[in-house]
Amino acid sequence: MSAGPTYVTDGEIKPFDERDTVFSREALVEGSPNEVAYHSLHPENIEIDRKLARFITLKMEPGGSDDLLADAIYEAHFKSSAALALPDMVDGEPALEKADWSPAEAAAKVKAFARAIGADDVRIGPLKQEWVYSHRGSRPFFEGGYTNAPYFSGIPEGYQGAKYGGPIELKHSGAISMAFDQKKELVGTGSTRAVDFEVGRVYAKSVLVSVQLARFIRALGYPARAHHLRNYLIMLVPVAVDSGIGELGRCGYLVSRQSGANFRLAAVTTDLPLEFDDPVDIGMQDFCDKCKKCAVTCPSGAIPLEKTLVNGSWRWKLNPEACLQYWGHTGYTCGICQAVCPWTKPKNIFHRTIASAAVNLPWIRRALVKGDDIVYGAGFSPLPVPRWLEDEQKS
C-alpha cells in the first residue's frame, strides 16, 4: 500500500481561485467589467496581464496573426473543442436506472471503456475539496472576453461554472484521471507550429474522451461531470497525483513512469462507487532534485531550482507569466521541458528497464541523470519540424 501522495503539506491548503490562473488573466479584455473588477483587487498584475493578453489576441481573434497555417490549426483543434464545453456536454442528469456493480467491477469497466476510446492511462482516486476551484475564472463563454463561440444559453438555475467569478461547489466523491500521450517527435521541435499542432490534437482527443466517459457513467445512473481543456472546475494535476497516475515534477507537469512529462490530462468526477487506486511514489521528488535539466534548458527561466512553500505544500513553483511570455514571443506553444525530461522516452524494453532502475534504486539516480546528458545531450537540441508544417519558403 502507498503511504499517500508524495507532495509535502505544511499548513492548510486552501481552494484556489481560478481567476488567478495565468490563462484566466490573459483572457481579460482591457476595460471590460471583469477586467476592471479583477485588477482593482490585483493591481500588481495589470502590466503583465496586458502583455499576456496580446498573445491570446493573436491566437483567438480572426486574422490575429500573420501565420495562416497556425491559425487554421488552432481553429481546427481548440475551437472544435469549445462546442464540447457547453453545459449539456460536460454535465447532465443521470439515468433513472442504476447499474448494480461492486466498486471494483465498476472501476474495471470504467477504465476499460476510457482506454478503449482513447485514454493512454486511467486511474481513480478521491476528489479532495482543496483541489476544487473556489471561483470560476477560465474562458471560454464569458461575454466581454476573448472567447470561442457558442456562448452558454438556456442554463438551468444553479448551474456550476457559467459566470465569471461565480462560486464553485462540486461534491462528487471520486475522480477518474486520464492521461493522453503526445508524440515526442513533434513536442521535441521546441516552440513551433508542430508543438501547437500536437498539443491541440491531444487536447481535442482528451476533450472528446472525457465527455464520452461522463455520458457513459450518467447512462449508468450516476452523476458525472467531464473536466477538460475548455471547461473544468478542478485542478487536474493534484487530482491525478491522488489517483496514482504520477508525481508532480520540477517542470510543473505531472510526470509518470509510463509517459514521462509528455502527456495531457482530463478527468471525470462522479458519485459512482469506484475502487480507488493508490498514489504512487516512483522517486520523482528525489530524481527531480538531482536532475535540473528542464530548469537549465527552459528558455524563459520559468522553472525554479528550489522548492518553496505554496498554499500549504512544498513544490517547485513554476513562473507561469515568464512561461507564457515566451509563448507570446515565439507565437507558438513551447514543449521544451516536456521533451528534455529524462523520463520522456520511447516505451521500449531498454527504457522501461532504465525507468525501473530509477524507481527502485535510489542510489543510481544521479548516474542516470549524467547518463541521459551523455546519450541525449545536456541541453536541448530541437527535432526537425515535419515538412508539411514548415514555412512556405522552406517547403
Q: Report the distance separating Cα 311 and Cα 292, nearest Å.
A: 23
Domain with 276 in it: 8-394
Helices 46-60 and 320-330: crossing angle, nearest 10°? 40
Amino acid letter, residue 188:
G
Q: Report the distance separating Cα 224 and Cα 203, nearest Å.
A: 20
Q: Please report whether residue 3 resides in a domain.
A: no
Cell numbers linked to 45:
498584475
Q: Are 197 and 71 in contact (CB under 8 A)?
A: no
Q: Please report whether residue 178 resides in a domain.
A: yes
Interacting residues of 42 by C-beta distance below 8 A, sequence separation 6+:
20
Q: Please report whether residue 2 resides in a domain.
A: no
Q: One digit per residue, pLDDT tens: the chain, 395 residues? A: 456 888 888 889 999 999 999 989 988 888 988 899 999 999 999 999 988 887 766 665 655 667 889 889 988 998 889 889 888 899 999 999 999 999 999 999 999 999 999 999 999 999 999 999 999 987 655 555 555 555 555 566 666 667 788 899 999 999 999 999 999 999 999 999 999 999 999 999 999 999 999 999 999 999 999 999 999 999 999 999 999 999 999 999 999 999 999 999 999 999 999 999 999 999 999 999 999 999 999 999 999 999 999 999 999 999 999 999 999 888 899 999 999 999 999 989 999 999 999 999 999 999 999 999 999 999 999 999 999 998 654 33
Q: Please report whether residue 246 resides in a domain.
A: yes
Of the candidates 339, 346, 107, 94, the one whose C-alpha atom is nearest the C-alpha of residue 243 is 107
Using CA atoms in the order 142, 333, 260, 189, what is the torsion angle rounded to 10 degrees? Answer: 160
Q: Please report whether residue 1 resides in a domain.
A: no
Interacting residues of 371 by C-beta distance below 8 A, sequence separation 6+:
none
Amino acid letter, residue 333:
T
User: What total number of domains does the chain contain?
Assistant: 1
Note the pTM of the prediction, 2 decimals.
0.93
Q: Report the distance separating Cα 273 and Cα 7, nearest Å.
A: 26
